[in-house]
A and B are shown apart, each in its own frame.
Chain A
Amino acid sequence: MSMDITVNINGKEITVKRGTTILEAARNVNIHIPTLCYHDDLCISGICRICLVEVDGERTLQAACSIPITRPVTIKTHTERVRKARRNVLELMLANHYGECYTCFRNQNCELQKLAKEYGVDALKFEHVTEPRYEQDKTSAAVVRDKNKCILCRRCIRTCQDFQGVGALDATHRGYDTQIQAFYDQPMADAVCINCGQCITRCPVGALREKDFSDSVWQAIDDPSKIVVIQTAPAPRAAIGEEFGLPPGTSVTKKLNTALKMIGFDYVFDTNFTADLTIMEEGTELLGRLKDLLVDRKEAVLPMVTSCSPGWIKFCEHFYPKLLPNLSTCKSPQQMFGAILKTYFAQKAGINPANMVVVSLMPCVAKKFETDRPEMTSSGFKDVDFALTTREVAQMIKEAGIQLTQLEDSPFDDPLGLGSGAGLIFGATGGVMEAAIRTAYEIVTGEEAPFENLRVTPVRGMEGIKEAEIFIPKALEEWSFLEGKTLRVAVAHGTANARKLMDIVTQGIAQWHFIEVMACPGGCLGGGGQPIPTSEEIRKLRAKAIYGEDEQLTLRKSHKNPQVLKLYEEFLGTPNSHKSHELLHTTYTPRGVF
């Protein structure tokens, strides 16, 4: 059987590999076929029926996304039958799509709206729903659902089940009553949802979104008695430009600082600072666990797993409660920042922490849930008051009438505005691991990690699971127990990949010492709070921007960050000190799966 097949699409001949879908083939020759249930990241569903095309020899129209080419066929993508059918399918969706475009957060970034425009819909054929059928679900701290807008493309289900391995959502009921529900119609707050928000970035319409806190932040800014501090994570700066028409992978770090100042934030700090702090704390914790095992011959829980990603944390709490001791006790950089701001910085700047409002700009939806965790109050206050997504902050910038792309650059504020390149790459999958290796290797051996230009390439890239081995040929006296040893590490991004690693760990056959897990594909840069749309292509471009920025910095190792060292000297003492534990470390809660 020949692997290559020549097909004819609208008169153009194209040779494709057997099994290529009609949609892929058409894209190869720049023929646009509309899609809705199809998404580059997801398995094929073929249910929205908007991508219908004519295939010779077939009585019915075929869904281009789901039909593999297995014979030389003639395909037509805009015959009268096709146009009429697509128009009818679209009309059916529109008729049952409740809500007005101008009150929708996806206005002008909605795939259904775009299709209506593409097909010149100027009046609705079928009676449009005028009353909402379902109550909005605002129970979750992170994810808001409006089933009235849902067009039942089921991308959310496939994202949650196949892509993330969570399975919080599924289709229930039949026919016209079909809806997407959590198990037993539980509200999102009670569902086994990890708040990763990946469903939001794949929803073609406005049926899913993050809980919006921008109004609360505006209120704080407007309140003269409040000192409003914002920390910005590394991933949003490589993506927020997309909201302003810049191509994916355009880093706007310093323009963003200017915009945030213009909005009215009193201080703009860099979460990379606490990313560096995380490396100090987490690295020390790992070396401590290794020492327990190798020197003191004590039981040590290994492999140790990173704890920066709140989506991953909740995933672990739901599905692998027995592995909670494997998690590093370190808070995420966001939460460390909040705790340091309301203690160390408040003292230093002479601010009453009760009047301080800590806001974070995050690529993440789960961060909202994290700020609400009861254990995140070690400063005596809520460590972080509001976590905003990249999208919410972009909205604020637009509302303030700021032309982000036209702004001058400004630096971060002192003293917590200094982050290393190692902290910066936390935004990409493998970044925490790379930062840890840069630091741990140097601390243990006294020499720089043996990678060209400090690029720890084995842990970079979009492979779902990555592994690396680092041999320690010679160790300083304090770490002599590591001499001649090989450190084995693994990196997973997307919780479906994390599941694979954790199943191995659960079986007790894991050889790794340290595992990095990020809940979102590509790491934080593919976070649920990032600009929509997302695809692997876009995530790769954002990663490129982050790694590029790292290489432009002179400070590229967390343990060399002078401000971090100063923080230890002035306030915390040493990594994993009593005070560090009090402020920077946390505990976890086993949860069920129902």
Chain B
Amino acid sequence: MVGHKIQILFSPAETGIALRLAIGKKPEDIIAQVKESKLRGRGGAGFPTGLKWELVQQAKGERKFVVCNADEGEPGTFKDRILLTDHPCKIFEGMAICGYAVGAQNGVVYLRAEYRYLREGLVNAIKKMKESNYLGKNIMGSGFNFDIEIHLGAGAYVCGEETALLESLEGKRGEARNKPPYPTECGYMGCPTVVNNVETFCYVPAIMTKGAQWFSEIGTMESTGSKLFSISGDVAKPGVYELAMGSTVDVVLQLVGAKDTKAVQVGGASGICVAEKDFNKPISFESLPPGGSIIVFNKSRDMLYVLKNFMEFFVEESCGQCTPCREGTYRLLQGVEMMEQGRCSIHYLHTLRDLAQTMLISSKCGLGQLAPNPFLSIIDNFKGEILARDRVARNSKKTPVVR
């Protein structure tokens, strides 16, 4: 079914059916079902959802929490916004099922500051679900209590990283924690916590009603189900698309009416920039990690400028905690500026590549570990263009070359 438009998240579903099914089962059976579906986290890292739930269920703790990561901040990503706007009940139902499975009574939605305007709709949806007894006390007479609160972020990209998100939820500066302990063991307020992306929770009701096997048959071996993509850039039909996992870049480009495409940034700013030679690659955890965003650049685009834009973003959004990310992103941006001005020697470019490699393996959290991705992939895939641009700048300005 690879490469087809698919409708799991966007198909209408009556709220409460999946939840009723779930609370009729044992928590272990729900977790087994989610594990069998091979659902992986849709926030980017792709951690197996069922395993995460199992860890929280087995963790010791008087209280446990279910946190929905709605801090959608990856540049070019707007898929969660559609879910938060049009399908909030699927999110909340997924959270409640998770709560029942892991033994949590409280759910928190961490909503990015820029989505403040969605808050009212979400609060109303929670209210309605409470009126129907899909949330609140003694849900559908089962004795299971589950309540959901909405918390607003304060505008930092790093708070999409789950432990920085938890810090922020606790009222502290949003910065990644040391792991271990992982949130599954010591999360919100020190309690075992599931943190899943908005989209991840939305698949749960469908898995409950249609079965794990049905879900696992969609997509690829390692990346089951469908995936939402926010597609933007040089395309005729930008928007949010639900596609089976494993769809190739080519198929995506065709679907959205992209012409003369030079490069595709898969997975947002922290993703990989793919050149034409790799357009036949599937988008899946085992090949091109999906993230939530696909940005398309046609042949008129200056890739160095594209890279500069991404690096400026990371310099701004690095939390400033660990050295490789705080200083490294700045040095990479500085290198890009030097290239723009024709001041970056091939040797220094080598030094910067080396630095980028270090950042990948030495930064404290995902932000710093992924920030060099656009640098490395753009420099490697568009080396000819970038070096040619460097030569032009050098000749036109006659500025001395450093190093």
Interface residues as binary, A88-99 with B (CB distance below 8 Å gives 1, 0 otherwise): 110011011000
Interface residues as binary, A48-83 with B (CB distance below 8 Å gives 1, 0 otherwise): 111010000001110100111010000000000100
Closest chain A residue, CB of each to CB of B351: A125
Which residues of the partner chain A approach B81 to less than 8 Å between Cβ atoms? none
Give the size category of B's interface with A. Answer: 20 to 34
Closest chain B residue, CB of each to CB of A178: B320
B138 at the interface (CB under 8 A from A): no
Complex-state Cα separation, A66 to B156, whole angstroms:
25
Interface residues as binary, B202-233 with A (CB distance below 8 Å gives 1, 0 otherwise): 00000000000000000000000000000000
Which residues of the partner chain B approach A126 to less than 8 Å between Cβ atoms? 331, 351, 355
Contact of A61 among B156, B354, B361 (CB under 8 A): B361
Partner-binding segment picked from A169-177, A245-253, A309-317, A481-489 = A169-177
A49 contacts B327, C-beta separation under 8 Å: no
A156 at the interface (CB under 8 A from B): no
Contact of B321 among A44, A47, A85, A125 (CB under 8 A): A47
Closest chain A residue, CB of each to CB of B355: A88
Give the size category of A's interface with B. Answer: 35 or more
Complex-state Cα separation, A61 to B369, whole angstroms:
11
Closest chain B residue, CB of each to CB of A60: B361
Contact of B323 among A61, A66, A92, A175 (CB under 8 A): A92
A333 at the interface (CB under 8 A from B): no
Complex-state Cα separation, A207 to B250, whole angstroms:
54
Which residues in window 244-277 of B have CB below 8 A to A? none
Complex-state Cα separation, A174 to B331, whole angstroms:
15
Partner-binding segment picked from B35-43, B48-56, B311-319 = B311-319
Give min CB distance, A64 to chain B, whole Å. 12
A93 contacts B180, C-beta separation under 8 Å: no
B319 contacts A92, C-beta separation under 8 Å: no
A234 at the interface (CB under 8 A from B): no
A566 at the interface (CB under 8 A from B): no
B191 at the interface (CB under 8 A from A): no
A175 contacts B328, C-beta separation under 8 Å: no
Contact of A84 among B317, B330, B354 (CB under 8 A): B354
A46 at the interface (CB under 8 A from B): yes
A175 contacts B326, C-beta separation under 8 Å: yes
A89 contacts B329, C-beta separation under 8 Å: no
A44 contacts B320, C-beta separation under 8 Å: no
A89 contacts B323, C-beta separation under 8 Å: yes
Complex-state Cα separation, A173 to B358, whole angstroms:
24
Complex-state Cα separation, A178 to B329, whole angstroms:
13
A61 contacts B362, C-beta separation under 8 Å: yes
Give min CB distance, B334 to chain A, whole Å. 7
B317 contacts A49, C-beta separation under 8 Å: no
Which residues of the partner chain B approach A175 to less than 8 Å between Cβ atoms? 314-320, 326, 329-330
Closest chain B residue, CB of each to CB of A70: B180
A570 at the interface (CB under 8 A from B): no
Complex-state Cα separation, A59 to B363, whole angstroms:
12
Contact of A48 among B314, B320, B322 (CB under 8 A): B322
A152 at the interface (CB under 8 A from B): yes
Q: Report which residue of B173, B314, B330, B362 has the largest number of chain A beta carbons within 10 angstroms of its beta carbon.
A: B362
B319 contacts A49, C-beta separation under 8 Å: no
Give min CB distance, A183 to chain B, whole Å. 13
A176 contacts B329, C-beta separation under 8 Å: yes
Give min CB distance, A18 to chain B, whole Å. 12
Which residues in window 216-245 of A have CB below 8 A to B? none
Which residues in window 344-360 of B have CB below 8 A to A? 351, 354-355, 358, 360
Which residues of the partner chain A approach B156 to less than 8 Å between Cβ atoms? 174
Contact of B320 among A50, A85, A151, A177 (CB under 8 A): A177
A88 contacts B319, C-beta separation under 8 Å: no
B323 contacts A48, C-beta separation under 8 Å: yes
Complex-state Cα separation, A44 to B364, whole angstroms:
13
B320 contacts A176, C-beta separation under 8 Å: yes
Give min CB distance, A177 to chain B, whole Å. 7
A173 contacts B320, C-beta separation under 8 Å: yes
Which residues of the partner chain A approach B351 to less than 8 Å between Cβ atoms? 125-126
B178 at the interface (CB under 8 A from A): yes
Which residues of the partner chain A approach B355 to less than 8 Å between Cβ atoms? 88, 92, 126
Complex-state Cα separation, A410 to B88, whole angstroms:
83
A100 at the interface (CB under 8 A from B): no
Closest chain B residue, CB of each to CB of A176: B330
A-B contact pairs, 19 of them (CB 8 A): A47-B321, A47-B364, A60-B361, A85-B361, A88-B328, A89-B323, A89-B362, A92-B324, A126-B355, A171-B173, A174-B316, A175-B314, A175-B330, A176-B315, A176-B318, A176-B330, A177-B320, A178-B319, A178-B326
- For the complex with contacts A48-B323, A61-B362, A89-B358, 5 further pairs of A-B residues with Cβ separation under 8 Å are A47-B364, A85-B324, A88-B354, A88-B362, A176-B330
A residues with a Cβ closer than 8 A to B are: 44-50, 52, 59-61, 63, 66-68, 70, 81, 84-85, 88-89, 92-93, 95-96, 125-127, 151-152, 170-171, 173-178
